[in-house]
Structure 1
C-alpha cells in the first residue's frame, strides 16, 4: 500500500501537459510535417532520463509492453482515475517502476515545449518511441517506429490480463497468440528481459526446487532475498546474454527458463544465443508488430493533453 501511495503521489506531482491530428495508417513519417523534430526530441529526453536512473530503460520498455498487451497501444496504462479504477493499480501492474512513467511524461513535456508540436503528438506514440530509444541507448537495435496512434480514454483494473513468470510455453504462446503474435515474436520479445531486475517474490519459489536451475545460480540467488535479482548477467546492456544464460540454466523467471527447457522453443533460443544480429532483427520486427495491436484512430481516441488523464 505504501508503494501504491508513493507511485500515485509521484505521478500526480509530475505536472500537466497537452494533444489533435487526423486518423491515418501507421507509418514512420506520420509527423514529418506536424512535428519534424519529434524523434530527436524524444531521444534526447530519454537519454537524460537514463542518465538520471539506470531503471529508466527497462521500466520504459516494460511500460510499453504492459500498455500494448492489455487494451492495445493507446497509453491507457498511464491513465490515473480519481476512483482508483485504472490499469496501473491492478496487482499485475504494481511492479511497474515510476521511472518508466517519468521517462514518457518527461518526453511528452519536451515535445510540447515546441510550439509546432504542442498537443499534436499522442502519448501512445511517445511511449512507442521512448521504448525504442530505451533499447537503442542501451546497446540494442535502432529500428523505425510506425506512428499515428491516438490515445485511449478508458483504463480499468479489470481489463488487465498479462502473462506471469510461472507460465509454461503453451501458456505463453496462448497469450501472445491472442495479440496476433507468433512463438518467434514471443521469444524475441522475451529478450527484453536482458534489461532490468525482478523482485524476490517472482523467483524464490524456484530456488533449490527447480531442476532446470543451475545449482550455482540457485546458491547465488539465495542471497538475493529479500530483495531483487537481475534478469540476466548484463542487466544494463541490451544484448543476447539473456539467451546465453538460459542455455546455462540461469533464467531468473520460470517463464524465461521454459523457453529453453521446452524442445519446441529451444532452437530459437539457441539461434539468438549464437547470433545477436538475428535476435536484434527479430526483436525489432516483433516490437513493430506489437506496436500495431489495438491501435486507435480519431474515431475512438484522442491526443491527451496530459498523459495521466483523458481530456
Structure 2
C-alpha cells in the first residue's frame, strides 16, 4: 500500500482528520474491513462504491442522500430512481453491513456520509494499491430528490463537464484525474451503443470491432468492461486508452478536446505517481463539497432511511 500525503485545504477545514478518534476509535478500521471482505469476494464492488461516492457528492453535496431509498407510498422519488442511477448502483449493501457493525460498536456516532467517504478511499486502496487520509465529520442529509440529480453523463462534452465540476469547486485537473476511475468497472451496452451504431469515427477501428462483439446491435442488455486491458485494477492505463482512442464514452474521448486536458492526459499516461497524487487529492476535495457539519443534518441509524 502506498499512502499519499496531501495538504489540507481551506475547503476541508470544517472537517477534521481523525474525527472519531475518541468517540469511535475503530470506525475507519470497521469500514475498511467491511470493504476489503466485499472486494475480495467481488472485485467489481470497488468500482461501484467509488461511483456511489461521486454520484452522491455531486448532488446536494456529500451527505449520503444517494443511499436513501424512495419511501413506499411517497410521491417523492429519491436520487436512486433517477435514470443515471436506477438499476445501476452497486455496493449499497456494503453500507448496511458497515453501518450495522458501527451501530453495534458506537451507537448514533458515525454518519453514513463518512462511511461512504471512507469506503471510497478503501476501495481505491483495495484495487489501486494506494491510499490517502480523508477528513471526516460529515453529517447525513434528510432529503433525497430525483429532481436534484444533474450529473455529467457518458455523452457529455468537455465544456459541460468543466461547468459541472466548476460549480462544485473542482478544477479541470480534478476532472481529468477523477476520470481515471473509468479504469475499473463495467458499463451497460445500451450506453455504449450510440458510439457503435453507427460507428463513431473517433473510436479506434479495432476497438470498435471488439466492442461490437461484446455489445451486438441485437443484444444491448449486456455489459462490457470500461478498461479492456486491466478491468479490475485502478491505474493509469485509462489514460493510455484515452490517447489510443480505446474508451467507451464520448466523455472520455472529450479529454483530448483541449490542449490543457490533453497535456494532463499525457502527464498521467507517463507518470503513475502524478496521477495517484492528483486522484487522491481530488477525491478528498470532492468529499468536502457542500458537506453538512455541526448540528446540521443527522446521524442516521440505517443508511437507507432517515431517522
TM-score where L is the length of structure 1: 0.88
**Per-residue deviation at 1:130?**
0.4
Tell me which residue corresponds to 1:277.
Answer: 273
Checking the alignment, whether the CA contact within 8 Å between 2:113 and 2:138 is kept in structure 1 is yes
Q: C-alpha offsets along residues 74-123 of structure 1, whole Å, 9 cap, x if unaligned?
A: 000011232251110111111533x3211222111222231xx2220000
CA distance in 2, matches of 1:205, 1:92: 16
**Per-residue deviation at 1:300?**
2.5
Tell me which residue corresponds to 1:90.
Answer: 82
CA distance in 1, matches of 2:260, 2:191: 24
Tell me which residue corresponds to 2:206.
Answer: 216
Residue range with higher mean Cα deviation, 124-133 or 135-144: 135-144
Give the one of 260, 264, 269 matched to 2:256: 260
Tell me which residue corresponds to 2:25.
Answer: 36
Q: How much is the aligned-residue C-alpha RMSD, in angstroms?
A: 1.4
CA distance in 1, matches of 2:87, 2:267: 31
Checking the alignment, whether the CA contact within 8 Å between 2:103 and 2:301 is kept in structure 1 is no
Alignment of 1:24-173 (within 5 A): 25-82=14-71, 83=74, 85-97=77-89, 99-114=90-105, 117-173=106-162
Tell me which residue corresponds to 2:177.
Answer: 188
Checking the alignment, whether the CA contact within 8 Å between 2:158 and 2:257 is kept in structure 1 is no
Checking the alignment, whether the CA contact within 8 Å between 1:75 and 1:124 is kept in structure 2 is yes
SS in structure 2 opposite 1:154? coil
Q: C-alpha offsets along residues 171-212 of structure 1, whole Å, 9 cap, x if unaligned?
A: 110110010100000100111111101111112111253222
SS in structure 2 opposite 1:155? coil
Tell me which residue corresponds to 2:9.
Answer: none
SS in structure 2 opposite 1:137? helix
SS in structure 2 opposite 1:103? helix
Which 4+ stretches in 1 moved above 4 angstroms?
A: none
TM-score where L is the length of structure 2: 0.89
**Per-residue deviation at 1:262?**
3.4
SS in structure 1 opposite 2:302? coil
**Per-residue deviation at 1:56?**
1.0
Checking the alignment, whether the CA contact within 8 Å between 1:138 and 1:236 is kept in structure 2 is yes
CA distance in 2, matches of 1:254, 1:276: 24
SS in structure 2 opposite 1:229? strand
Aligned residues: 285
CA distance in 1, matches of 2:87, 2:47: 12
Tell me which residue corresponds to 2:305.
Answer: 309
Residue range with higher mean Cα deviation, 30-39 or 256-265: 256-265
CA distance in 1, matches of 2:248, 2:154: 9
Q: Which runs of 5+ in 2 are unaligned?
A: 1-12
**Per-residue deviation at 1:229?**
1.5
CA distance in 2, matches of 1:183, 1:77: 25
CA distance in 1, matches of 2:149, 2:190: 20
Q: C-alpha offsets along residues 113-165 of structure 1, whole Å, 9 cap, x if unaligned?
A: 31xx2220000000100010001010242000110000000111111110111
